[in-house]
A and B are shown apart, each in its own frame.
Chain A
């Protein structure tokens, strides 16, 4: 009985918690995107590219500062929060790229994905609005 409880707790610690579903990259409802490779996604979120592989211009969404955003950049680009902040500051303040649009909450990001074509964002899989297409999974 006791062992079972310890195992349960251990499993709970190892598995993603109930609020920590899988992170996914997602395209807004009216985006013509067929496919976005992981490499293209990385290029988009590092400011190297502003279009999809077929040349369609897209805009990016960022979530507010927090663990979801930090997780996303770490998984996609391998850069920690301080590195990604310094990296994007350089791009933005040297006139190279415009930063992703920062939503004030996941709810706002969902709303944008429903209403604006050619937008790409990221969120937990359980938060993806109906009609939006999952492009990449970032387990």
Chain B
């Protein structure tokens, strides 16, 4: 019973309806992303139509095979891929949302993701841990991945509070450090097996370290469940604990130099480092999903970009944990369905265009918000008009 109430409260607060979280309800928090996505889809149709293709056919393929709509024979497989991608993207999305709450722009989610991934790989194959039981082993891998990602991000937080290095610069530099440390050294040297005639990249993780599959024969694994727990934990931490309250207080006043929280006796420096650690831990979790659920080794040909995806996802999700899950689902659906569009001779880049447009409209959210507020005002005025006439 209390569980139910919690979920309801979670959903309400996630969208800003919870009195405890935001003071008062803010329907715009749902409307702005929805309107932005709708505008992106409409503009996307125009782009497809202009290129001489049938936009309805394109969207039918895109969403029909995105895993969102059940029915077709391949639905189960696509649904699995959809949830796998959702888990992967929501981790970095949550990371960036968490940092946003503290008024920080964690552009280093990408590097923290790599650091988490390489840590998960190491614990996954390293001898002393290789004989852990099935459920414990991935848990240990995830723990170390989150620790590693968290420490990597906390480094940027530390540089910010002690040396005044802006976190944007600090985390970007740490991205490059992580990239060269991993692809230029670890993956080629210490973590690579000797016999490289048939393989490249690091050792493969032990069978016991792989995430359990929950919907065979598809490769859907527990990562989606862990991502949901992580989203809940992030929300709980932000809205139900002292540390979360203080982080939000810092975030609200970040542009004003955080004088108010400081005057209230909040240890601002400590909270900034902690917020960065938590953000990094969430990115590291994504790295663990990538290795333990999909790759099973760190390939030296890895193409990443999950941290950058996370920025768009956090923006569309309005920086709220539940919003991040929904926006990850949207981006994952676009990317899952993109494959089918290719079969019909529509390039995979069309889904990128829609994705880019959605983020673009979110970036224009001040404008979207402005017109939405204007619209609502006008409606209210129209409704109130007869009464006001009487009053005059």
A and B physically associate: no
Q: Which residues of B contact A (CB under 8 A)?
A: none
